Each structure stands twice: as C-alpha cells, then as structure tokens.
Structure 1
Amino acid sequence: MKHFLNSCFLVVPKKSLKFFFISIFILFSFSSFAQKGAITGSVLDKTTQEPIPYANVILKSGDNIVTGGITTENGSFSIDDVIFGTYNFEVQFIGYKTENQTLTLDKDHRKLSLGAIGIEEDAVALEAVEVTAERSTIEQKIDRKVINVGKDLTTAGASASDIMGNIPSVSITQDGELSLRGNENVRVLVDGKPTNISSRELLQQIPSTSIKTIELITNPSAKYNPEGMSGIINITLKKNTNLGFNGSINTGFTYGERARYNNSLSLNYRNGKANFYGSYGNRFGEGVTNGFINRTVERTGQDILSLADRTSHLFKFGVDYYINDKNTLSVYTNQNFFDAILDAERNISFLNTPDANFNQFDLTDRNNINASYNVDFKHDFSKEGHSIELEVDYNTLKSDTNNDFDFTGNTPLANYDEFIDDTRTNTTINLDYVNPLSDNVTLEIGLETRLRRTENTYTTDRIDFSNSDFRYDRNIHSFYTTFSQSLGKWQYNLGIRLEDYNVDTQFNEVLEAPFNFTDKLFNIYPSGFLKYSPSQESKNSYQLSFSRRIDRPSLNQINPIRQLSTPQLILSGNPSLVPQFTNSVELNYNRKLQKGNFTFGGFYRRINDEINRRGFFDEDNPTVLIVDYDNFDSNDAYGLELSASYRPTNWWSLNGSFDVYSRTQKGFIEGESVEVNNTLMNTKLNNSFKATKDLTFQLFTFYSGRQSVLQYDLKDNFFINTGARYNFAKGKGTLSLNFNDIFRTQRFAFETFRTIIQEGQFKTDSRSVYLGLAYRFGSGKNKSIKRKKRDKNVKADKLL
C-alpha cells in the first residue's frame, strides 16, 4: 500500500500542483481582522440527561448560516473565531426538536459558556423517519435526482438490475443493458467510484438490499468527470452510522423456470471516535433465456436456449476515525467475486437446404475478482463548509474466460476452444477544496488524476483465428473550478474543467505486424446551472443547466480481437474510433404539493461523431456478418420528462413517470447516406395500497414504445408486477412476496433492415415469484447520527 500511494502522487503534474497550492494559499489569506469571540457548551437528552454526540450546533444571522460545528462524543462543543455580533443559536439533531437561543458577542462578552442544553424528542419527526424508510423518496437537487431507496424498492427484486427499471428516466432491457433517457452511454458508479466491469455485470452482482441511494446526474457540472453522454448513475451502498452495535440481515428466494437466491448481512459498531462497518451480500442461481433469429433473404433460422448459472459475493469493510471535530480519516474496501457458467445451444437451420442444418453448443466459464481500496482524509476549517479533502482510490480486476464451442450435424466447422485473460487497474486521486467566501458565495477548486492500464490476452486453437494480445494505457490529468452564488431568489453555479488526455495502445497478432496507436488531447469542459425559487416558502422552483461532455471509445469498442458468436456472426472492435462530444441543455420545473410533488423538464443534446454499432459482410465469406463499432455523423436528441408522486388518501399512494424522447441519427452504411428520425416513449406507474398499518400491496406497470436506430428497430415492451409487504416485530422485520411479469410479456425483440434483413426475439424467465425476509437489530435507541456528508467528486470512468 505504501508503494502504491507513493507511485500515485508521482504522476500528478508538478505545474498543476504548483498552481493549486498557490491558489489555496491565496484563499487562505482571505481572513478577517475583525474582533472575535468563542461559544462553548454541551448538549444533553432532556429526559435521560445522557450526552448527545454529533448534534449540529449552528449560528445564524437571519436565515443565513454564519458558522457552527458538531458536538463531540461526550456532547460538548466549542465554536471559535466568531465575529462580534448578535446571532440566532440552534441545536439540531434528527428525531429531536430544534432548540433556539439568541446570543450576543461583544467586547464585554468575548466568551459565552452556555452550559448544558437539554433537547427533547420529537415524536412526529421520528414517525416521519419511519414512514420515509417504508417508501422511496426522490430529492431534486440543483444537479441531480437522489432516490432514497425504501422498502418498496428493495423488495422489488433480488439485484440492482431488478430495481433499476423502477427508477424514473432509467430503462433496462431483458439482456441487462442499461439506458438513461433512451441512451446506453451512461456511467455507473458504486460509492462514487468507477469499477472495471461492465454495467450489466455490475447490476447483476449487487444485491438490492445492499443499496442505500441511487443518484441520477443527467447534466453533471465541471466538478465531475466529463465522460458519459447521457449522464451518471451513482449507486451508494449502505453504511450504518448508528451508535452502538447495529445491523440487518436479508434473505430472498426467486423462482422462475429455475431457482435463484440472494442474501445480505450488514453490521456496524460505533462508539467514541471510531465507526466500524461491514457488509456481505451474495447472489446465486440459474437463469434461462429462450430466443430466435430469422434471416428473411437467406431463409435461415436460429433457435437459442441459454442457461446461466451465476454466483457473486460482495464484501464491504471500512472504518471512519473521527480524529477530532475537524479531521476525519476514512478507509474502506469493496471486494467482489463473480463466477458464471453459461451453457447455450443453438439449432441453426437452412430452409432451402435442410441437409446443411447443424447444432452449436457454447460453454463459457467466466470468473473475475474486482477489488477497490479507498483512503480519504478530510479537514474542516473553523468556518462552516470550509474544507479540504484528499481521496485515493485503487481498483483492480482479474478476469478469466474459457469458451468451448462444439458443432454437430452437417457443417465444415471444427470444434475449438478459446481463452481470454483480462487484467485491469484503475487509480484515481482527488484533491478537493471548498471555501464559502461569504454567506452566499462558494468557490471550489480541485485536481484529479486517473491512471488506467488494461492487458488482454487471447489464445485459441481455431485455425483461422490468431493468438493475440492487446495493451491499453490511459492517463488523464484534470483541474476544475466552480463558483456558486445565491442572489435572493436566484442561485447559479458556473464551472470549467481542463483536461489533459494521453492514450497509448498496442495490438500484437501472430504473423502480423504490430498495431500501435497513441493520442494526446487537451479539452475544456464548461458547465452552468441556474435555479430560481420565487421565495423560501415557495413550492415552485425552476432550473436551467448546460454542460459539455465526452464519450471516449471503451475497451470493447476498440479491441480488434475477433470473437465468434455464431458461424454467421463475428464480434469485433474498431481501433480507429475517435471520441464523441455532447453539448447538453436541460430545463426543469419542480413543484411541491400538499400530498406529493412533481417534476417536469426537457432536454436537448447535440452529439458529434456518435459511436454506434455497424454491421457488414465478411469479404472472404459473404454469409458471415461482422459487427463492430464506427463513428457516425451526428445525433440530435431531445425529450420531455414528467415524474410525480401523490398520496390521494392515507391508504393509497402512487408515483410514476412519463418520458418522450426524439432523436435524429445520421451516418454512412456501406457507402450509403442514412438518416433516421425516431420517437421513443416510456411510462411507469407504481401503486401502493396500505391495507393495515403493517400490510401493504403494490402494483407496478411499465411500457416502452418502439424505437429505431440506423440499422435496426427495437419493438415495444410491456410488463406488470405485483406484490405485498408485511412488517412485524415493531417494524424491525419485513416479509415480502412479489409476482413479476405476470403475463410474461417482457421481451427483447428487434428487426434489422440494413446490411442484413432479419428479426429476432429473446425472453428470460422474467415471470417469477420472489419471497424475501429482512430483519434489523441494534442496541440502545439507535438514533441515526446526522452528520455532514462530504460532497464526493464523482470519478466517472469507462466501464468496459
């Protein structure tokens, strides 16, 4: 670890560090020479007289926060360097009533000792916290939507993939492909960090009961990594911060055509200056997929049956050490172990020459170990919100894949094996500085370094394929700054990100000359956000945002190693791809209702050099279709979104969303200029019916309309889920029963009409029954500690 940390810091550009520390020194010099005083005291539970640690103590001037802090483990606090004046003093702690006092500091009262301040429980607030845990809520922030995952979502299915389809603006296909606002160019992060596996595999491996929040960042600011055309989805895993010893255990069983299981355990111990936490989750079982592909002109067909036996284990361990009320050191690790055996049978038929029919048997054995290690140190200065934070994240992936292909029947194809060894490392270093220059002005400055290396080795005994290896190195150094200000009813945030990008790749194939590619780019990514709220009490708010983003070719998109999917289909990458750039504008309106809320918005995206799939026939064998990637001309996309939650009665609540996206794609396919105009519609509606205090029923419906791209159409998709949830043991336990895809209508169906004319459809065993049990336990009162979360600089990276 020591060697790793030393190597990480050596890669940061010296000029960037010099500029950064000069900027920090200048900002530190903005100190006031006004006369100052101090305030001390302690906070107790008024009933039990026990000290309350980590309560918020705040000084306000009018409605503006001037300074403040949190109480120590023994309930005491000290607020230093307070400029003379009269303030409103508040003590806040979740589940308690807020305590208010008016204080004056002057030359005769330089130090105020408030003694012991007793605060009392707020029964209404505690009840609200319990209700919120029952159902998911959506927070609309200036740059993102935050979905706080309640029991209604965790009981929707066994994995993150199962519940993603319930999230507004998010869609997931039967084969696990994720899209945001109708586009698959989305980055998925875990705890704000990139991983080295694809989003499809990632969502299948994370148990749903391990998820705390899901953040949708559709138009990220300059503070965030600019990769991801349609935005970022950040999944935050649970980390308990309750006092004493606490935990939860979850287990679930799903049965469709085969059985699948999921389990998770979360433990936490917090006492004094340290918070220790750990969790374990697993998923294992089999899934079945049936499908067909028919080619009209060639009059050929494929009937496909696939059985996937997957096992995943996810561990998270960490500790937060509160050195004092100004300094916190956090260390954690995520360990993900995944094994899968995929067994597929393809019956390939030729209607004109039935004697040529044959069978293909594919057996894939894949296992990977994905590990991440994170160290974070944060220092809070005396002024509220003034902080500096250093974070180092190291992620590794070791993946081995064995493919065995056997053929029977009248075919010249010989049996063969192939082996793929994939090793990836990803190091990210962040230094973030936040300084509230005044009550309504904040300056943020940061540096980021991302180092990535990938080594891929392909070995096969197939005669017409060659052994090869592929190396991919990518280093990115970034500097960002944002400036935000509140001006009465208006808030704005302006930012800019400077990025130096270096890539070096090498492809070696037996008996072929090596292929080398290097690229060096410097880019600027501006962003802007504007929010208007008619008043502090207003139920309405309006938001306008702009950002420039980039999508660089992923490893799978540029890796030229050819892989056989069927005798008629070969998959490959294109090392000549160039990045695609996106300019995005977004406008949103939010309104709070007495019994709910709704959000209505629109967006426009202009994408240049769009990366998309293409298909063409092999020159040496015209019956074989090669599918790789290419840059197409341009893509204009725009859309409208409406999401709402409403509670008509005490026993009935509903939330839903309706999205309409339209896009124009232009490109060249086999020398022909092609333009496609397409409109896509998605709608979701979730009803919740509370039969008793502890028994709730749910009904969820989803519909996705037909959509077109340059070479194929995707047919519409529709399904209905229903379920029930029962709480017992005074809310500590939850029993769930779901019936998913009741009418077995969920599918992935397509029609290809350029290069080759064919149609196909795939269905998984999505019609299934899920039975889950959750139980939460803990010592003492289990009052959740409300402490300020650090504003993570999300480091989006390519996931493939």
Structure 2
Amino acid sequence: MKNFNLTVVLLFLFLGLPNFAQQGPPTINKIKVTGKIVDKTSKQPLEYATITLKNTKIQKALTGGITNNKGEFEADVIPGIYDITIEFISFKHVELKGKNITEKTSLGTIGLEEDASQLNEVVVRAEKSSVEIKLDKKVYNVGQDMMVKGGTVSDVLDNVPSVSVDVEGNVSLRGSDNVRILIDGRPSYAVNIAEALKQLPADAIDKVEVITNPSARYDAEGGSGIINIILKKGKNQGFNGTLIASTGIPEAYGLSANVNYKTEKLNYFTTAGYNHRTNEGGGKTNSEYFNEDGTVKNFLDENRETKRTRDGFNGRVGVEWTVAPDTYWTNAINYEKNTGEDNDLINYSNYDASHNFTGTTYRLNNGDTGSENTSFNSNLIKNFNDKGHKLTVDASISRNTDDSQSIITGSDNYNNTLNNQVQKQAQLQADYVLPLGEGSQFEAGYKGSFGDLNNEYYVLDDQGIRIDNLSNTLEYKENINALYTQYGFKKNKFSYLFGLRWEDTNVQVNLLDTNNFNTKKYNNLFPSAFISYEISDQSNLTTSYSKRLTRPRGRFMNPAVNYSSNVNIFQGNPDLDPSLTDKFDIGYIKRWDKVTFNTSAYFENTKDVFSFVRSPTGDNVNGIPVIKSQPINLGKEQKYGFEFTLNYNPFKIWRINSNFNLYNVKTTGEHSYTDTKGDLIVQNLDNQANTWSARVSSKLTLPYKIDWQLNANYNGAQKTAQGKSLDQFSMNTAFSKDLLKDKATIAFNISDVFNTRIMRSYTYLENQTSYSEMQFRKRQFNLSFTYRFNKGKNDKEKQQPKKMQEENGGDFPG
C-alpha cells in the first residue's frame, strides 16, 4: 500500500511540474516560419539541416530550427526583417537576405547543392549518441558510443532507457519480455534471438527505436512494444569508411569495417567484421528439501562454472540506386556465420538433514555450436511529390541454420545431445502514404510473413541409443497476412491519429516423432488511437491506446530439453497460445533551456500471458526431485506504471541523463499437470508485486578533450508467484580521446565495474526451497581503436546547435 501511495504522489508531482514551470512573464506574439530543405540533385529530404534567422535590427533576436526526417522545419520569430541562413554538412549553404516577415510565412522547398571542396571532410552525424524524444517513440542514435565499442547489440540495448537485458541475453521493455525485436524494420527469425543479438557487433548499429505503444502501421506482435535496431548504411558522397579494432579481457578481440562509395545515382555500402569473444560466468543453486510432514529431508548445493567462446563473421553488402529523381531502389545481402564452444561444469554437494556432508558428484557439458544466416532484402521507394505522397515496397527472404552438439559426462552417466535447426522465412510489405492537405494524412498497407522451421533434437545414452522421451523432431510453420489503414490530422493545437490493423494467422506445430499435429488459426482486429495536445512550443501532452499480440516463438515453443543439469531442467512448450494485450498510455514532454523532461503513466491488461513455471516432475535422481521449468499460458496479467526520463545539460561539457520506471504487476491463474507418477498437481500462481528500476548516465569532457562516461543501473527486487527475484546493481564506465586531427578515436571501457551483475532469486515449492545465483558474464575490460578515412569530425558536428539539443533532449551517451 505504501508503494501505491508513493506512485500516486510521484505521478501528481511530475504531472503538476509543467504548471509550475509555465509561470513567468508574458511573451511577445510570435510568427511561425516553415519550409522544406532537400538535396537539389536527388530531391531527397535533408534531415538535421540547420536554419538560422537573424533579425537585422535586433541583434539578440536570433532563432532557428532543425529539419525533421522529411526535411521540414518550423521556427517562431517576432515580426521584423531577417537574414536567413540554411546549412547542411558537406553542402553549400544558402542565404536569404532582408526577408520581411510580418505574418505566417512559408519559405517553400529550398534545394542545397553538394560542396565538392568538403567531400573529403564529410562527417558522420552518428559519431555521438543522442536521443530524439517523441511522445510515442524514442530514437537513440547510438552511433559510435564509446560505452559499447567492441561490444554487441545486447550491450547497446542494455544501455537504452526502458530496455534491459538479463544475464542470459533476454531483452525486456518496461520490465516485460513480451517485446518484438526488429532489425531494419524486419523481424529477426533466429530461433534463439537472445543468442543472435549477442553475435551482432555494436559497430554495425546506427540507432535504436523504442516504440512503447505502436500504431496500426506496425506489426501487432509484441505485447509490451517494439524495439527496432537500424543498421548503418553510408550516405556520404565519394569513397569513405571506418575501421575499428578492439581487444579485451577476458579474451576478446575483433576487427570491423564500414565502407561506402557514392556517385550521383549509385550508393554502394558494405559492412564486414570478425570477432572472437570469451564469456566466463558461473552460478549456484542451494536447495533444501522437506519431508511430507515438513521436517528437513536433505540439502543439495549446485556450483556451476561456465565458459563460452564464440567466433563470428558478419558481412553486409548493398547498393542504393536512384532510378529517377523520385524513385529509389535498395538491395542488400546479409551473411552471418558463428561457431563456438560451451563448457558447463556443475559440482553437486549432498548433505543430510543435519547438513553433514555425504558426498559429491559432477556433471560436465562440453558442446560445439554453429550457426549460419543468409538474407536478401529489397526496398523500393516511389515519391509522387515532395509533400509526402509515396509508395514503399519491401521484400526479403532468409535462411538460418543452427547446429549444436554436446557431450555430457558425469559421476554416473554419459549422454550425447544433438540439435539441428533450419528456418526459412519470406516477407512482402507495401505501404502507401497520401497527404490530404495541411496537417492530414492517409496511410494503408499490406504485409505477408511466411516461415518454416524444422528442429531435430536427440539425446543419446552411453550406448549411443536414442532416449525417446527426451528427443523430438519439431516442425513449425507460420503464415501471417495483415492489412492496415490509418488516418491522421491536426486541428488547432490537437493532433489525431486513428488506425486499424487486421492480421490473419495460420500456425502448424507438429511433433513428428509422436505424430502429434496441431493447427492453430486465428484472426484479430487491432485498433489504435493517438491524441496529442500542444500546450506550447516547449510542451506537449498525449494519450494513446493500442491492442497488441504476443505469439510464442523460439525457446518458448521448442520442446528440446536443456539437459546440462539433470535435476533442474528447462523445456519449451509447443502448445502455447498467443497472448493479447490492451495498452493505455498518457505522456507529457516539457523542454527548458537546459532540461528536457518526458514522462508517461501506462496500463496494460494481458490475457493468456506467458509465465515460466517450476514444477516437480515426479522423478528423482539420487533421491533429489527433478524440477522442470516451462512456459505456460498463465491466465491474466494487469500492469500499471509510471516512467520518466530527465535529460540535463548543466554545462557545455557535461550531460546527465536519467530514467526511472515504477510499476505494479498482478497475475491471476493456476497450472495443472500430471506428473510421471500419474498424480494430478495443481499450482496456484496468483501474485501481485511492486518493483522499480533506475538508470543514470553522465558524460563529462575532461581536460585534454578526454570524454568520460559513467552509467549506473539498478533493478529493484520483485515478488513472483513461486518466490522472489532480488535487486541488482551494475555500473559501466568508459574513456575516449580523439587522435590524428580527429580522424581516429581510442576508447577504453569497463563493463560491470564492481562485478555485481548477478541474477539472484528464491524459489518456494511445496517440498523444496532454493536460492539461486547466475552470472552469465563477469566483469570485462575492452580497448578499441577507430580510424575514419576520407571523413572526420568537424566543428559543426562537435558543437551541435543548441536548438537541436533542445529538440532532442540533449545528447544521450548510452
């Protein structure tokens, strides 16, 4: 109850903040100036072009703006005569002298020409990490963020507000793992998405979009929202690129290159990289067992040491062709190959009821893994005019293979496991946008997604004979067809966006060994609505609703048994049904001179929510009950929370960013199953819990132009239906320095400075209590060197315009 009262107090406190902040002297009526900036040759909109308006009579009357992704800008000025300057990096600037502005004025479409003299000094905007805060989406330009240099996509996501990555690499958004992961707007179809994200290098990423309440334009998939990872694609004229080398402790090293060559009509881009990574970890599970009368039966301590090595190569090559001044066609091929070794040693220590040592056993799992992924993507954009009327068509095909083999030896057993997976995917999408006048727009589109997965899993005994009850062959086919339409318009200070999406799903889950065939067909309507009110030029209020869906995939569906421990095992559930979520969100954003504040209150109501349940199987190993962890459709989950992000720039050399999320989650449901003895077991899983998380990031420029970055993360404890997870704190830090006239950068970072990133939990079952710790990766040190050829950081990039910092909420260093 105290936590609920705290939530209410905080909510009213921050929602009342804008009223307090608005008090002040009256302002002069201003006039709005608008326009659009494009590439004069290709007619392509220029995002982040700067517009400066200087009053010729009042020198202090200086204002300006930054263009959005459509090349559009707007600025508010007092009436007067202005000299206007339009600038964009590597383009010739345009000046409009003595412009008399006495009423609302449109400068129309202004074309900029490329400046050949600057082509060898062109910059990459993404060299520094910044955040663009919108009411329904946050875009994090992670770029060359020094905190994650030499790392992976998982490292990048773990430094993004509202997003967290656990010790096993699983991604969650606002505390929920029902999140949809997209790469360049397309879903990743890797069977183990957590492992796939740990293989893709951070250097390949341009930015990350976090969409907590998506509109009808997006897939309905992802109960808690969507995370879209956008890869780099060079846009600079001529031949240029970046080389990055890194090394680290524990053993890790890598080399990657991003190169592109652009002519007037063709833009060739490529990314290639090799990395070797070693993750050392470990954990323990201490269990106490009870007799039926409640007295202590015995104790078991499991101590685990893990070491995982990965060698990975990734390559991407593509070309963007300007077919005509209003038509662009991009084709790209992606290839990834990874190999690795897994070593997992578990030592079991047995104790009697008085905790006297009675003996020890061990279990060693040595495994080899390999995966290969190939995909082809094609994108066609047809612009019918320069006002946003366009047609976009996307097509992609992919093939992913994932193979692994493990030899499990122990004190009294020997097993061999084999796992072979092949997944094929095809996707076709078309989106049509039609502006219907000033401030209104109609959209419609289609998307078809067609997938096929075949997974063979075998467990062999010490004689090489297949153990049937642990082996299986899974065939999973999924066909999804979707149509959507949405209409947005603006009236006075209100903006509206209403949409409707229809998705038809046909899923086949077949267990071929047991001839168990299961077909699931369902179709759903997914409405969405967004209403925004512009309180002032510096503040905005919005409310939104959407219906979301989460389909079970990957390890949730795969019935292959994780057999590394013979008393604590994990198994997927091919009989899972999708869950449906109704999402409500109220958001507010306010900008001051040095501060940007963004907050939201949200509520989510989910039916058939997925939940991991630990259940005794009825089997025993040396008198120890075997516990199986498996996902189920639990019943209902209700979640309400409050989140805010605060960006503060106290000085030009110092930026502070923080994120806070407080929520309450209530689940209702029970789990019924029959154990191996034929007994019906019913587990009541009703639960209600409060928890919170906080993240603070600071970036400070030290003497000699050394950048210092520090991130601290805290996740609060949370009660679960079968126990509780304990709190977790971690800290990362990094230093970087530009060299060779800013053509090179050296960076040093430490991940998990205090080695405290450990998942800890208690589990309470009917005849067992357990305490567990798991650390997937111990503290790491990493050193990287970046060299940019035919491009460099210049002053325009380093000293980002103040107006742009205000619009974006300041730079976000991770």
| TM-score range relative to shorter protein | 0.7 to 0.9
Residues 187-226 of structure 1 correspond to what in structure 2 (within 5 A)? Answer: 187-197=180-190, 198-226=192-220
Q: Is the contact between residue 243 and residue 786 of structure 2 (CA under 8 Å) also seen in structure 1?
A: yes
Alignment partners' CA distance in 2, 1:556 and 1:347: 26
Deviations 1:461-494 (A, max 9, x none): 2364354311111111110001011112111111
- Tell me what 1:531 maps to: 532
2:396 corresponds in structure 1 to 393
**1:747 aligned partner:** 758
* Cα displacement (A) at 1:616: 1.6
The reply on whether 1:362 has 2:374 as its aligned counterpart is no
Number of the residue aligned with 2:488: 484
How big is each residue's C-alpha offset from its partner over 1:285-326, in whole Å with a ceiling of 9 and x where there is no partner?
Answer: 311112111111241111111110111111111000001111
Shift of 1:564: 2.1
Q: Partner amino acid for 1:723?
A: A
Residue correspondence of structure 1 range 79-90 to structure 2 within 5 A: none
Alignment of 1:735-774 (within 5 A): 735-755=746-766, 756-774=768-786
Task: State whether residues 363 and 410 of structure 2, in contact with CA within 8 Å, keep that contact through their aligned partners in structure 1.
Answer: yes
Structure 2 equivalent of residue 420 of structure 1: 419
Paired residue type of 1:263: L
* CA–CA separation in structure 2 for the residues paired with 1:269 and 1:712: 56
Superposition deviation, residue 377 in structure 1 = 1.4
The answer as to 2:571 corresponding to 1:579 is: no
- 1:263-295 Cα offsets, whole Å, 9 max, x none, are 210000001200000011222131111211111
Distance 2:477 2:252 in 1: 38
SS in 2 for 1:641: strand
Question: What is the aligned partner in structure 2 of residue 790 from structure 1?
Answer: none
CA distance in 1, matches of 2:173, 2:731: 21
My pick for the range that moved more, 682-691 or 563-572, is 563-572
CA distance in 1, matches of 2:43, 2:170: 45
Pair 606,69 (structure 1): closer, same or farther in 2 beyond 3 Å: closer
- 1:5-39: per-residue Cα shift (whole Å, max 9, x none)? xxxxxxxxxxxxxxxxxxxxxxxxxxxxxxxxxxx
Alpha-carbon spacing, 1:374–1:121, altered in 2? closer, same or farther (3 Å)? closer
1:244 maps to 2:238: yes
Taking structure 1 as reference, are residues 619 and 648 closer, same or farther at Cα in structure 2, changes over 3 Å only?
same
Counterpart for residue 178 of structure 1:
171
- 2:693–2:716 contact (8 Å) kept in structure 1: yes
Deviation at 1:417, TM superposition (A): 0.7
Of 367, 377, 380 in structure 1, the residue corresponding to residue 380 of structure 2 is: 377
Q: Which whole-Å deviations, capped at 9, do the CAs of 1:216-235 have from their partners, x for residues lacking one? A: 01111111111111111111
1:680 aligned counterpart, secondary structure: strand
Structure-2 separation of matches of 1:561 and 1:664: 30
SS in 1 for 2:556: helix
Equivalent position amino acid for 2:644 in 1: L
Deviation at 1:585, TM superposition (A): 0.7
- What is residue 803 of structure 2 aligned with on the other side? none
- One of 455, 471, 475 as aligned partner of 1:471: 475
CA distance in 2, matches of 1:235, 1:339: 23
Q: Is the aligned partner of 1:552 residue 2:551?
A: yes
Letter in 1 for 2:338: F
Q: Tell me if the contact between 2:480 and 2:505 (Cα under 8 Å) persists in the aligned partners.
A: yes
Structure 1 residues without counterparts, runs of 5 or longer? 1-41, 45-50, 71-87, 104-113, 785-800
**TM-score, length basis structure 2:** 0.79
Q: Distance in 1 between matches of 2:391 and 2:98?
A: 31
1:137-152 mapped onto 2 (5 Å cutoff): 137-152=130-145
Report the equivalent of 1:276. Answer: 268
What is residue 341 of structure 2 aligned with on the other side? 341
In 1, Cα distance between equivalents of 2:452 and 2:138? 32
Distance 1:155 1:731, change over 3 A: farther
Q: 1:563-585, CA deviations, whole angstroms, 9 ceiling, x for partnerless residues?
A: 42312123222233221110001
User: Is 1:286–2:287 an aligned residue pair?
Assistant: no
Partner of 1:165: 158
Maintained 8 Å contact 1:495/1:528: yes
Distance in 1 of aligned mates of 2:316 and 2:257: 10
Conserved? CA contact 1:55–1:91, under 8 Å? no
1:514-663 correspondence runs (5 A): 514-535=515-536, 538-621=537-620, 623-663=625-665
RMSD of the TM alignment (CA)?
3.4
Q: Summarize the Cα distance change of 1:437–1:165 in structure 2 as closer, same or farther, 3 Å threshold.
A: same
The amino acid that maps onto 1:234 is N
In structure 1, the residue matched to 2:288 is 296
Which AA in structure 1 matches 2:783? Answer: L
Q: CA deviation at 1:243?
A: 0.2
Counterpart contact for 1:244–1:780, Cα < 8 Å = no
| Distance of aligned partners of 1:574 and 1:243 in 2 relative to their CA distance in 1, 3 Å threshold | same
SS at match of 1:556: helix
| Structure 1 residue 192, shift from structure 2 partner | 1.3
For the residues of structure 2 that align with 1:779 and 1:699, how far apart are their CA atoms? Answer: 28
Task: Please tell me the residue identity of whatever aligns with 1:718.
Answer: F
2 CA distance for matches of 1:575 and 1:55?
A: 47
Rounded to whole Å, the distance in 2 between the matches of 1:583 and 1:299 is 45
Q: Which piece of structure 1 moves more, 435-444 or 622-631?
A: 622-631
Residue identity opposite 1:187 in structure 2: R
Within 2, Cα distance between the matches of 1:483 and 1:102?
Answer: 40
Q: Which deviations, in whole Å up to 9, do the C-alpha atoms of 1:232-266 show, x marking residues without a partner? A: 111111111100001001111121xx211132100
Q: Which amino acid aligns with 2:405?
A: N
Aligned twin of 1:38: none
Letter in 1 for 2:215: S
| Distance (whole Å) between structure 2 residues aligned to residue 674 and residue 474 of structure 1 | 31
**Structure 2 vs 1, CA of residues 449 and 275 (structure 1 numbering), >3 Å: closer, same or farther?**
same
Corresponding residue for residue 696 of structure 1: 707
Q: 2:310 aligned with 1:317, yes or no?
A: no
CA contact (8 A) 1:341 1:366 kept: yes
**Partners of 1:702 and 1:719 within 8 A in 2:** yes
AA aligned to 1:760 is S
Contact 2:43–2:325 (CA under 8 A) maintained in structure 1: no
Compared with structure 1, are the counterparts of its residues 350 and 221 closer, same or farther at alpha carbon in structure 2 (3 Å cutoff)?
Answer: same
Q: Which residue of 1 aligns with 2:254?
A: 262
Change (3 A) 1:491 1:520: same
Instruction: Give the drift of 1:167.
Output: 1.0
| Structure 2 equivalent of residue 451 of structure 1 | 450
Pick aligned residue for 1:502 from 481, 503, 506: 506
Q: Which residue in the other structure is 2:440 paired with?
A: 441
**Cα distance, 1:134–1:689 mapped onto 2, change above 3 Å:** farther
- What is the aligned length? 692
Which residue of 2 is the match for residue 493 of structure 1?
497
Contact 2:685 2:722 in 1 (8 A): no
Partners of 2:85 and 2:429 lie apart in 1 by: 34
C-alpha contact (below 8 Å) 2:205/2:232 kept by paired residues: yes
Distance in 2 of aligned mates of 1:508 and 1:654: 56
1:755-794 alignment runs, 5 A limit: 755=766, 756-778=768-790
Cα deviation for residue 692 of structure 1 reads: 3.5
1:350 aligns with 2:350: yes
- 1:781: Cα distance to partner? 11
Q: Is the 8 A contact 1:206 1:281 kept in 2?
A: no
Aligned partner (choices 717, 721, 732) of residue 721 of structure 1: 732
Identity %: 26
Conserved? CA contact 1:615–1:626, under 8 Å: yes
Partner Cα distance (1:435, 1:90) in 2:
31
**Could you tell me which amino acid in structure 1 is paired with residue 734 of structure 2?**
G
Q: Distance in 2 between matches of 1:265 and 1:288?
A: 27
Question: Could you tell me whether the CA contact under 8 Å between 1:153 and 1:163 is conserved in 2?
Answer: no
